[in-house]
Amino acid sequence: MIPERLSKNGTIGMFCPSHVADKGRYDAIIAALNRLGFSVKLGDNFWKDTNGYAASAEERAADLNALVTDDSVGMILFSGGDSAAEVLPYIDYESIKKHPKIFSSYSDGTSILLPIHAQTGLVTYYGAGAGEFYDLRHYDYLQFVSHFIEGHEIKTFVKDSEWKTIKGGACEGTLIGGYAGLFALMFGNTYFKYNKEKKYLLFLEDYEIFGGTGRVATYLAGISQSGFMNNVTGLIFGHYAENPSEDFYRLLERFADKHGIPVVYTDDFGHGTRHAIFPIGTDAKLDADKRLLEFI
């Protein structure tokens, strides 16, 4: 199920599942969206800090559920942080099926985007959160427009950096992934499931300031040791550092060799300066030798 595109003067709903909203920062984000022609609707509990690190799980979910049933809202946009997984038991997944719309986030948003897709079949979007509009880059804006506003079907991933082939080969599958640590945790989550009859093209990202190569190795080991790896045909790994170490690249090489899959590295998405968008649930094919990703 693919949500309808966002109109150029449409309404974007925002809730805050992963942190306490900073008013100065979000005022700037809302102003930027307004300048682009969009109206912004905030959840009633958007500014609350009930738990100290965020509003209560029930309050955050109430905001999400209200935005879902509000037919004036064409998109739900939210940023990362921590603790979004607390919201999952309170999301009204049946309402999302009845009122499908664009869900876009990244980082801690992984915890919500993947279960929504798993529970409803709705394509969700990883790569663009609300925070990207605080200092909107041209590449990010073009990604936003091409995925969410323009009506034509995207066939080829538009790159803004040089991709590195870790292990060559070609593969295809349904796109799935997100922040590496949170993706690894999904396999024990009641609200996440995958189709054991399908093949998946995995995309992951992590950031060196969150932990070193050893931490990424832990996440990749968790994924490797899950039954899910039997369904993985290839890996696209996003921005990790301005100049990743050889140890990091060797980690990706070992992962590729262990599973016999093509692997590429790119700075086009993740916690860097570029925020390309990956539609979770869309079929795609990767040619690692040509460093080409196509949507099919």
Q: Which domains does the chain have, with CATH numbers?
A: 11-148 (3.40.50.10740), 164-295 (3.50.30.60)
What pLDDT, on a 0 to 100 scale, did the predictor assign at position 152? 63
- What was the pLDDT predicted at 126? 98
H or E segment to which residue 197 belongs: none
Question: Sorting pLDDT into bands at 50, 70 and 90, what band is 231?
Answer: very high
* Predicted local distance difference test score (pLDDT) of residue 153: 75
Amino acid at 277: I
Q: How many CB atoms lie within 10 A of CB 192?
A: 17
Q: Looking at this protein, which amino acid is placed at residue 153?
A: E
In the predicted model, what is the mean pLDDT of residues 98-127?
A: 97
Residue identified by tokens 């292990």 is: 167
Of the candidates 166, 236, 164, the residue with the CA atom closest to the CA atom of residue 200:
236
Three-state SS for 255? helix
Report how far residue 92's alpha carbon sits from residue 275's, in angstroms, rounded to the nearest whole number. Answer: 28
d(CA 113, CA 187): 14
pLDDT in tens, 142-187: 999 999 997 667 899 999 999 999 999 999 999 999 999 999 999 9
